[in-house]
Structure 1
Amino acid sequence: MQKKYLLVIIVLLSSLTGIRAQQVIPSSILTVQGRAFSEVPGFHRVDTIKYHNIPPAVKKLYAHAAGLFITFRTNSAKLSIDWETADAALGNNSTPIMSRGFDAYVKEPDGWRFAGVARPQLKKAESSYTIVENMEKTEKEFLLYFPLYKELRSFQLRIDEDASFSPTIQQFDKKIVIYGSSIVHGASASRPGLAYPAKISRSMHADVINMGVSGNARMELSVAQMINDIEGVDLIVMDCVPNCSPEQVTERTFAFVKELRKRHPNTPILMMESIIRQIGNYNLEWKKKRHKQNVNFRTEYERLLAAGYKNLFYLPADHLIGDDYEGTIDGTHPTDVGFERMVKIIQPKIEEILDLKSKM
């Protein structure tokens, strides 16, 4: 009997030793990438104390980690993460992984390949998860996207005890700022890396700054003034029509572009219409509103051209999420299929604009 208990104790101790035999990599040694400004508190996208004139709802959303990521190299066979978000609440049209989880990719010769996700606890703000395990012990470069719809409070990585580890920083030759609604923010991708700004970033190897603010992209001048402080911008994308009333589109578009031109006088600006919301298939009021939003946006674009503004480009909503009525989760927010369809139209337009810019 004593031998049996001794064996149980040895097994338990071995198990505990196995758990402890890991390196803990603190977030402090990693460089947060994908945000507009280097001096930002925590894992926020914007220093909202500095930009105190931004509306309170917009400030709260810029505390979300949408579009932020880290990269690093390791030969660990296992990659785990411990993290805490501001709370455990979830939206009714989002997955827990997209909202509060992480999304990992490994760099291959032909680009970044999906490796695994970190699934959050559903009832607690603190979570721990093994993203991927049983890998070959060869050195790989990882890209890890942060949660899209939560303020990330803290995180640490865990790797094999004897594994190598080195932070990396991606070098991009172009910077694209995308300002917009919940669709830019990432609703309703299944995981962080499938939001359309992230997909374009990987595909084009571009520094794509996600400035989406769910439900609150209303072209306030204070937001344009903040965007004006972003340096080295090659293209600004305005995908903000969905959150503006038709009247706001008329009242604010011209002034917003005029404000941007104070600090970005020659930077190309791509003005995108609102996607055709499938919620308007039978809801006539939604259909009427969306149509009026885009009509007014086109009018303001033409008014800007007539006033002499240059390097303005326009992208109609036609076919952005497909024509089979199967591109959204709720009639408004794209599924992964919807986002893929958007990228197939938006990316060629971006490449065309940047190609023209390079020839100027």
Structure 2
Amino acid sequence: MKKKISTLLLLILICGSFSIYAQQIIPASKFEIQGRLFENTPKFHRVDTLKYRELPAAVKKLYTHATGMFVTFKSNTSKLSLRWKTVDAELGNNSTPIMSRGFDVYVREATGWCFAGVARPDLKNAESKAILVEDMATTEKEFLLYFPLYKELADFDVIIDEKASFVATRQYFNKTVVVYGSSIVHGASASRPGLAYTAQLGRRLNANVINMGVSGNARMESEVADMLSDIGSIDLIIMDCVPNSSPEEVKERTFNFVARLRKSHPKVPILLIESITRQISNYNLKWKARLIEQNKNFRLQYEKLLQAGYKDLYYLPTDHLIGDDSEGTVDGTHPTDVGFERMLKIIGAKVEAIL
């Protein structure tokens, strides 16, 4: 009998705080999903892939990721927990589990959004439970919850104190910026979702920065340009897609991509950003030659667009984007948090000047 009681107590302890405090479960349906281009997009996808069926297959799959999306709400809860499910539990070899499959949360202060905690995913199972932050004062706070960057999110529940208040909120931004790009835009390799440079840029500018990164597949296809052309009112388009495009694709597709965007957005500024200087090219001569050719062709196409009479085009070279000490990436290509901070200083200043 004593052994059975001991076993029961052990199970209770293993279950943790999810089973020993009174809870109020707020399902995903109670929130307004923010941070994506189009209303009425199914599930937690960035794009309705059935509507845009002509997109390349890899691009469609990546646009099912919840990258860049978030919810905001107000509550006086003392503890904030999360229960969620992604389509699988696989992890990339150059990313943290929190960035790929987890969440992070911020609290609004007078000076802006302040980081409060993370939800660490289960490393083996697609379903996870985690406490983001606990032992808070029971004053009302507004929370900002960023979604996982590298997974399709199936569902989530926010868990708060049983008698805590809850009000879903929506953010109203000064500007809307759309960023189309590679895995670097997608978020690799930030340590958590809120540190992707698009998320940081949004908080810095109080702007609705839409992350349209497609890891390894930002190749300026006409179908992608046509999809982006369906966007409503926006204030800036950023093209940070050179890293994924071969030198030949940069030469052949840049002009057409911008021209297609211009048909529906004739006066919206477009910022073209060169590929970051990949640090793997320090000694790899093949990568070095590729990088030089990519960026050279991109600049030539930018100049060709200007000569053709296209207005409101801006250009940002690779210079100093991730610093000059070769310490800004996790693998020679994808920025660490340090690399993203350096990028943000340069890109943020440029975007502020344009807007």
Q: TM-score range with shorter-chain normalisation?
A: over 0.9
Shift of 1:344: 0.2
- 1:95 is aligned to 2:72: no
Give, in whole Å, the separation in 1 of the partners of 2:38 and 2:18. Answer: 42
Secondary structure of the residue aligned to 1:262 is helix
Residue 150 of structure 2 corresponds to which residue in structure 1? 149
| Counterpart mapping for 1:129-278 below 5 A | 129-278=130-279
Shift of 1:39: 1.1
**What letter is aligned with 1:263?**
S
Give, in whole Å, the separation in 2 of the partners of 1:275 and 1:21. Answer: 49
Give, in whole Å, the separation in 2 of the partners of 1:18 and 1:260. Answer: 52
Residue 25 of structure 2 corresponds to which residue in structure 1? 24
Q: Could you list the per-position Cα deviations for residues 205-241 of structure 1 after superposition, in whole angstroms to 9, with x for gaps in the alignment?
A: 0000000000000000110111111111100000000
- 1:126 is aligned to 2:127: yes
Residue 304 of structure 1 corresponds to which residue in structure 2? 305
Shift of 1:17: 10
Give, in whole Å, the separation in 2 of the partners of 1:26 and 1:120. Answer: 18
Cα–Cα, structure 1 residues 16 and 308, in superposed 2: closer, same or farther, change >3 Å?
closer
Residue 57 of structure 2 corresponds to which residue in structure 1? 56
Structure 2, unpaired ranges of 5+: none
Q: Could you list the per-position Cα deviations for residues 57-113 of structure 1 after superposition, in whole angstroms to 9, with x for gaps in the alignment?
A: 000000000100000000000000000001000010000000000010000000000
**What letter is aligned with 1:133?**
E
Shift of 1:21: 1.3
Give, in whole Å, the separation in 2 of the partners of 1:165 and 1:308. Answer: 52
Q: Could you list the per-position Cα deviations for residues 270-302 of structure 1 after superposition, in whole angstroms to 9, with x for gaps in the alignment?
A: 000000000000000000000100000000000
Quick one: percent identity of the two aligned structures? 66
Secondary structure of the residue aligned to 1:37 is coil
Give, in whole Å, the separation in 2 of the partners of 1:225 and 1:18. Answer: 49
Residue 357 of structure 1 corresponds to which residue in structure 2? none
Shift of 1:162: 1.0
The 10-residue stretch of structure 1 (17-26 or 235-244) with the greater mean CA deviation from structure 2: 17-26
Give, in whole Å, the separation in 2 of the partners of 1:16 and 1:156. Answer: 16
**What letter is aligned with 2:163?**
D
**What letter is aligned with 1:19?**
I
Structure 1, unpaired ranges of 5+: 355-360
Shift of 1:19: 2.9
Secondary structure of the residue aligned to 2:100 is helix
- 1:281 is aligned to 2:282: yes
Secondary structure of the residue aligned to 1:276 is coil
Q: TM-score, normalised by structure 1?
A: 0.94
Runs of 4+ in structure 1 deviating by more than 4 angstroms, as ranges, are 15-18
Secondary structure of the residue aligned to 1:325 is coil
Secondary structure of the residue aligned to 2:177 is strand
Secondary structure of the residue aligned to 2:271 is strand
Give, in whole Å, the separation in 2 of the partners of 1:16 and 1:42. Answer: 29
Residue 358 of structure 1 corresponds to which residue in structure 2? none
Secondary structure of the residue aligned to 1:103 is strand
Secondary structure of the residue aligned to 1:99 is helix
Cα–Cα, structure 1 residues 192 and 17, in superposed 2: closer, same or farther, change >3 Å?
closer
Give, in whole Å, the separation in 2 of the partners of 1:35 and 1:331. Answer: 30
**What letter is aligned with 1:336?**
D
The total of aligned residue pairs comes to: 350
Give, in whole Å, the separation in 2 of the partners of 1:17 and 1:320. Answer: 44
Shift of 1:16: 9.2
